[in-house]
Chains A and B, each alone.
Chain A
Amino acid sequence: MNKTEGLNLRVVVYEGRGSTPLAAEDRYRIISSLLENGFEVTRPPGGNGGEVSRADVAPVLVLGKFDGRIPQSEGVRFHDLSGRPHEEAIQTAREVRDQVGARNLGDWKPWFPVIDYERCTNCMQCLTFCLFDVYGVDADSKLQVQNQSNCKTDCPACSRVCPEVAILFPKYKNGPINGDVVRQEDVRREAMKVDISALLGGDLYASLRSRTQEARKRFSTERDESRALLERKRCLKELQKNLDIPDEVLMSLPTVEDIHERAERAKAKLAARQARSQTAKDSRPDPTQEEWGI
């Protein structure tokens, strides 16, 4: 199962007609434990009104201290809390989750970029920069986050290269990347730091190619492999520090050849698209998202 697919088990803590209300402390302990174990929890309206999510396609388990007979309802599981430790309810929830094939939330830390479209100018620096195909464009060529689960946990590097401070990582430690208000000095700082093209000498891919060629040249003239490796290590360390990239991400970077190939593919597609759009007589539809492949 993909990390972002599937349904969570929803647990309803029922205290209405036909049941005895829980003590406040018990209610808190059960709900808290359920959340910590990755379950969605609903406490339906009691006497004080309010509203909760209606039943949907998600599998449901109802917990309650039922008076006498445990209710029956098609597609819904019930667990009686009467006289039982709350740990048993958590265990039941785990069993039901396995039985119905619901997701186990602990499998993935939800770390991915979120775009603030009030700030995004569709400049595509993030799409160009990200080496893991997290970004793509929709049918109107508008930037989108398309593959959240491709994102490398704890890596906020694309948000550091966004000149508009438009990319959020809600679980990041510091503002404004965490969603805190963007101040003018943040915009100035990011703009200074992050014109990634300028930073790397005009074009990221050209720069990587040139760096590779330089390294090859140096190998052939100086035959000093260790010096080149040291230089490469130093550059990566600098980039890592500036953009807050975790070690694991650097360990899993695609090769220069992969990047080169991808860039050439994207350029060819872009050129083809531009040629088509400039021909008034050409009535063919725009390429689909899949054709773009970015």
Chain B
Amino acid sequence: MAERILFCNCAYARVVPPEVKAEVLRKLCESGAAFDAVPDLCDLAARKDPSLKRLSESKCTKIAACYPRAVRWLFHSAGATLPKEGVEILNMREKSAGEVLDRLVSPEKS
């Protein structure tokens, strides 16, 4: 099953530790994985970007962003409710870069 990865750079707020964000992005770039990266998921949700709808329809999605509750309701606010199954939200505010990457680019562990 084709997997989708979304990376949020969470601009305009230093709530995600910069070193975690940078390390996750660096390793993502080093991996062979295809991914979409957005400057700010909140911004996408505010303008109901159609890409969120398509992402929510994907069967297997990993999102590196912030708290899962925040991400889920952000998607909902954009009219793109995420399915309960098949979506993994990785919280860069709380987890280390290693923990996030372990899930993000190691599909065999899922």
Contacts from A to B (Cβ < 8 Å): 3-6, 8, 24, 27-28, 31-32, 35-54, 56-58, 105, 108-112, 114-117, 145, 148-149, 168, 170-173, 175, 178-182
Contact partner of B69 among A24, A111, A180, CB < 8 A?
A180
Contact present for B13 and A171 (CB under 8 Å): yes
Residues on A with beta carbons closer than 8 Å to the beta carbon of B30: 24, 27-28
Contact present for B25 and A170 (CB under 8 Å): no
Q: What is the chain A residue whose CB lies nearest that of B38? A: A40
A38-B39, A42-B36 known; A173-B15 Cβ under 8 A: yes
Contact present for B67 and A178 (CB under 8 Å): yes
A50-B5, A54-B54, A110-B43 known; A31-B29 Cβ under 8 A: yes
Proximity bits, B5-38, A CB within 8 Å = 1, else 0: 1000111110100000010011001111111111
Contacts from B to A (Cβ < 8 Å): 2-5, 9-13, 15, 22, 25-26, 29-43, 45-47, 49-51, 54-55, 58, 66-71, 73-74, 76-77, 93
Report the Cα distance A44→B45, complex, angstroms: 23
Interface centre among B46, B51, B93 (most CB of A within 10 A): B46
Contact partner of B73 among A8, A56, A116, CB < 8 A?
A116
Report the Cα distance A58→B70, complex, angstroms: 25
Whole-angstrom distance between the Cβ of B8 and the nearest chain A Cβ: 9
Residues on A with beta carbons closer than 8 Å to the beta carbon of B38: 35, 40-41
Q: What is the chain A residue whose CB lies nearest that of B10? A: A171
CB<8 Å pairs between A and B, sample of 18: A31-B25, A36-B11, A37-B39, A38-B11, A43-B33, A43-B36, A44-B34, A50-B4, A51-B3, A51-B58, A52-B4, A56-B51, A105-B11, A105-B40, A148-B46, A171-B10, A179-B70, A180-B69
Contact present for A114 and B70 (CB under 8 Å): yes
Contact present for A50 and B33 (CB under 8 Å): yes
Whole-angstrom distance between the Cβ of A223 and the nearest chain B Cβ: 48
Contact partner of A43 among B9, B35, B43, B77, CB < 8 A?
B35
Residues on A with beta carbons closer than 8 Å to the beta carbon of B50: 56-57
Contact present for B12 and A109 (CB under 8 Å): yes
Q: What is the chain A residue whose CB lies nearest that of B22? A: A32
Contact present for A45 and B34 (CB under 8 Å): yes
Contact partner of B26 among A6, A28, A56, CB < 8 A?
A28
Residues on B with beta carbons closer than 8 Å to the beta carbon of A168: 69-70, 73
Contact present for A105 and B39 (CB under 8 Å): yes
Contact present for A116 and B4 (CB under 8 Å): no
Report the Cα distance A182→B68, complex, angstroms: 12
Contact present for B26 and A178 (CB under 8 Å): no
